[in-house]
Amino acid sequence: MISKEFYRDRRRELSRLMERPILLMGMGHRARNLPMNHVPFRQDSNFLYCTGCKEANSALILYRGESILFLEDHPVEDALWHGSVSSLEERRVQYGVDRVLPHTELEQFCATIPNCATLAVADLAVNQRAQKITDLALSFGHEIGDLELIDALILLRRKIQDEELQDIRRTMPITRAAHIAAMRATRPESHERIVAAAFHHELAKVGLESAYRSIVTVHGEILHNEHYRHSLKSGQLLLLDGGAESSSGYATDITRTWPVDRMWEDRQLRAYKAVLAAQEAAIAQVQVGNRYRNVHDAASSVIAEFLKAEGLLRISTQEAVSSGAHALFFPHGIGHLIGLDVHDMENFGDRPAYPPGRSRSEQFGTAYLRLDLDLEARMLVTIEPGFYVVPSILQDERLRSRFHDAYHWDRVAQWEGFGGIRIEDNVLCTTEGPDVLSQSIPKHPTEIDACRMEV
């Protein structure tokens, strides 16, 4: 767990960066079918970053050097349904703030505060409440709030501090155990649901949840395939993209791919080794001062070399990368920031991930690069190259026309039904070079094979 002193320091730093009062809203309970039946609660990440508070219907005011938390003051009879709740004073001590007031007093308190900065959260009702208080237009993903406040939060959250890093490191062995359990549960005539259950069981038994909806699929060519609908068959690859969320809310985001059988087919192994080489080349580029686009290009070049070696490309690997032809088989960016959100701060759009003067490429594939900063020490990123045989891409007439002379299309057709491979790790940029936080999770073919043979 992260200490209340950490959250106190974050509030002080945020207040130092802003000369105005700050209002941060926590998420509310949202109904699922019945008003009393809620969807699973997850606190807003910016609110969590400054408080560590996971209570619904909460708010934080930073004003004149004070931290004032607004929380629900539950009636005595509520204990029958939800158990006893600490008093407001007890929670003031718990969270290390200056004052705790009932959340029903928020509007009255804010009426005396001029020019309060706030931001949108993923809860319409909460945004409507904050909008009435501040007169700011708020819409999650569109009208994101006060830009000065958002830039201050980006500046703080973009670099992982020691306590955050320790929390992520503590969570990584649980993610490792979950991936290994899934590898061992994979066999022909089983089902994606069985593998997913083995993965999630390892998280649940220590009281953790997934940081996002885990991808467990034999159709890895569908990049965000979140449905567990398919039986497992010999000759297929299974892709698992999943990670535990720490008790303090920090994400891990790891992808591994392995054969449904306990043996690799030759073509599977060749493609897998190419993706692994691409990842290793990209990880080596995670250096202070290096542009993240260079990390992406390093992986792209290795994938292009594989396409050339397999007799798919007619043009040089350099031409393939410069034109974007390689992206027919590697159609996404190399990774993203990770922290309290699995795609950290992406609710602010490209603002946290692209510096002034840079914008997304219009080139096919590279347009999906989620990050293009110059790397700094303490930035935590994912490195996740892949190789995918995607029918909707390879059959797209516009793409086939654009890259008609780049490929031997008869040979491309021979890969139909292959599926997809992705290998993903979480990598910390340091002054000493890349630090792979997830390095203990098996990814080399011999490691995967040895792990599965232990069953």
The answer to whether 183 and 224 are in contact (CB under 8 A) is: no
Token readout for 233 is: 């068959």
Token digits of residue 224: 């965000």
Distance separating alpha carbons of residues 152 and 449, to the nearest angstrom: 47
Q: Is the pLDDT of residue 74 over 90?
A: no
What is the average pLDDT across 394-422?
96
**In Å, how far from its chain's centre is CA 242?**
10
Instruction: Decide if pLDDT at 75 tops 70.
Output: yes
Handedness of CA 10, 15, 16, 17 (dihedral sign): positive
Per-residue pLDDT for 390 more than 80? yes
Q: How far is CA 349 from CA 99, 212, 359, 360, in A?
A: 33, 18, 12, 12
DSSP 407: B
For 283-298, what is each residue's pLDDT tens digit? Answer: 999 999 999 999 999 9
Residue type, 142: H
CATH code of 364's domain: 3.90.230.10
At residue 283, the 3 state secondary structure works out as: helix
Q: Tokens 């007799």, residue? A: 311
Mean pLDDT for the chain overall: 95
**pLDDT above 90 for 454:** no
Across the range 151-176, mean pLDDT stands at 98
- If asked whether residues 280 and 153 sit together in one domain, one would say no
Residue 110 · residue 25 · CB < 8 Å: no
Q: Mark whether 133 and 166 lie in a shared domain.
A: no
Residue 214 lies in a domain: no
The answer to the question of residue 182 being in a domain is no
Number of domains in the chain: 2
pTM value?
Answer: 0.95
Phi, psi of 199 (to 5 degrees): -65, -50
In a domain, 271, yes or no: yes
Count of beta carbons in the 10 Å neighbourhood of residue 381:
26
Question: Per-residue pLDDT tens for 95-137?
Answer: 999 999 999 999 999 999 988 999 999 999 999 999 999 999 9
Same domain (yes/no): 99, 128: yes
Spell out where 243-341 has E strands.
244-245, 254-259
Instruction: Return the pLDDT at 455.
Output: 59
Same domain, 111 and 166: no
- Which of 97, 124, 157 is the C-terminal boundary of a domain? 157
Better pLDDT: 119 or 81: 119
On the 0-12 / 13-18 / 19+ scale of CB atoms within 10 A, 368 is: middle
Range of the domain at 342: 162-171+250-257+265-453
Are residues 64 and 22 part of one domain?
A: yes
Judge if 401 and 301 occupy the same domain. yes
26-47 tens-digit pLDDT? 999 988 888 878 888 899 999 9
The pLDDT tens digits for 182-234 are 999 999 999 999 999 999 999 999 999 999 999 999 999 998 988 999 999 99
Q: How far is CA 72 from CA 57, 92, 237, 262, in A?
A: 7, 12, 49, 53
Q: Is residue 338 in a domain?
A: yes
Residue 178 in domain: no
Question: Does one domain contain both 71 and 166?
Answer: no
Share of the chain above pLDDT 70, in %: 99
Please indicate, yes or no, whether residues 140 and 276 belong to a single structural domain of this protein: no
Residue 167 sits in the same domain as residue 152? no
Question: Does residue 232 lie within any of the structural domains?
Answer: no
Report yes or no on 440 lying in a domain. yes
Contact 131, 137 (CB under 8 A): yes
pLDDT number for residue 80:
67
Per-residue pLDDT reduced to its tens digit, 129-163: 999 999 999 999 889 999 999 999 999 999 999 99
pLDDT score, position 266: 97
238 beta partners:
258
Given pLDDT bands bounded at 50, 70 and 90, which one contains residue 351? very high
d(CA 54, CA 48): 7
End position of a domain, from candidates 117, 133, 157: 157
Q: Which of 127, 157, 187 is the last residue of a domain?
A: 157
Residue 196 within any structural domain of the chain? no
Same domain, 425 and 296: yes
Query: Mean of the pLDDT values across residues 385-405?
Result: 96
Q: What is the CATH classification number for the domain harbouring 139?
A: 3.40.350.10
Beta strands at 425-430 and 34-38: parallel, antiparallel or unpaired: unpaired
Q: How many CB atoms lie within 10 A of CB 278?
A: 27
Whether residue 409 sits in one domain with residue 283 = yes
Direct distance between the N- and C-terminal alpha carbons of the chain, in angstroms, rounded to an integer: 33
Specify whether 278 is located in the same domain as 316: yes
Residues in a beta bridge with 425: 383
Closest CA to 293 of 382, 371, 353: 371
Helix (H, G, I), strand (E, B) or coil at 97: coil
CB-CB contact of 58 with 70 (8 Å): yes
* Nearest-angstrom CA–CA distance, 265 and 261: 9
